Amino acid sequence: MSDRYTPQELMVAAAAREIADGDLVFVGMRLPILAYAVARSTHAPRARALYELGLLRDWPAEAFLGTMGDPPNVAGALWSTRLSNVMGLLAQGLADLGFLGGAEVDRFGNLNTSYIGDFRQPQVKLPGSGGGADIAILSRRWVTLLSHERRRLVDRVSYVTSPGYGDGSQGWRRRQGLPGGGPAAIVTTLAILRFPPGGGEAHLDSVHPGHSVEEVRAETGWDLQVTPGAGETPAPTREELEQIRKFDPEGFWTRPA
């Protein structure tokens, strides 16, 4: 097996490390499905996964999943139910961690997956929230995964599908009545950005091997501040790569775009 890895494989490994053992994880689509499988097979053997269409699992499905509703994800489930039951657990604050993707994220962690430009006359219509807004508002903490490009990491998103820390002011989420804790990190193809405790603006926390702080700042649409002591993101371990390639043998999700 090659130790060379794609940016997406590093993102999966980094996302997997956000999962603590025993977490109830609200798993989204694409890379987070793999991240859960890696975490469960390595450092988090007691984690459990909720899938919004109505599933609870412990062991990840052995077969490749194109969607969370593929038959191998249902066979062997701990619970197969309706969406509102799973969302109800989320609304009670019982999901420790959620994952989100998006077309655009801003310095305060707000995500746009709906409209580029004015929503009444959009330049680009994106697919929409799905369960994304629910995870952002209701989960205890969440992590965003996206490709690091200047047009995607913007100063302010044009439409807030899934709120992070709003306008970035202290206590914004509490004042708006959002029950969940908000975004913890943004994992990109170049770096990991983190938010300070209590929320606010994302800072550069680590740069992926082979990339520089200057490159990351140049590809970010705001004046990205660097956390003192920011270092290099650990490369995926051999064990993590083995697990990623077991669950995505053809590289459907992890080959470079």
Partner 1 sequence: METGKVMTMREAVASFVPDGSSVAMGCCLEPLVPFAAGHELIRQRRTALNLIGPISDSLFDQLIGAGCVARVTAAWVGNVSEGLGHNYRRAAESGQPNPLEIRDHSNFSIALALWAAAWGAPYLPTRTLLGSDILLSNPDLVAGDGLVRVGALKPDVTILHVQRADAAGRAHAWGPLGVAEEAALAAGRVILSCEELVDQEVILSDPNRVLVAETKVVAVVPEPGGGHPAPVQGYWRRDHAFMRDYATRSRTREGFLEWLQEWVLATPDRAAYLGRLDDTERLRIRQHRLSAPVDYGDE
The catalytic residues are 52
69 lines the binding site for partner 1 (CB under 8 A):
yes
Q: Kindly identify the residues of this chain, within the stretch 188-247, that bind partner 1 according to CB under 8 A.
A: none
Contact with partner 1 (CB under 8 A) among 17, 107, 173, 208: 173
149 lines the binding site for partner 1 (CB under 8 A):
no
User: Which is nearer to partner 1, 23 or 52 (by Cβ)?
Assistant: 52
Q: Kindly identify the residues of this chain, within the stretch 85-104, that bind partner 1 according to CB under 8 A.
A: 87, 90-91
Contact with partner 1 (CB under 8 A) among 26, 51, 99, 195: 51
d(CA 143, CA 186): 6
Q: Which helix (H) or strand (E) holds 246?
A: helix 238-247
68 lines the binding site for partner 1 (CB under 8 A):
yes
Asked if 160 and 187 touch (Cβ cutoff 8 Å), the reply is: no
Handedness of CA 8, 224, 162, 111 (dihedral sign): negative
In the chain, the N- to C-terminal Cα span, in Å, equals 21
d(CA 249, CA 234): 23
d(CA 32, CA 16): 8
Contact with partner 1 (CB under 8 A) among 1, 2, 4, 127: 127
Partners of 143 in the beta sheet? Answer: 99, 185
Q: Which residues bind partner 1 (CB under 8 A)?
A: 29, 51-55, 66-71, 74-75, 80-84, 87, 90-91, 114-115, 119, 122-134, 136-138, 159-163, 166, 172-173, 176-179, 252
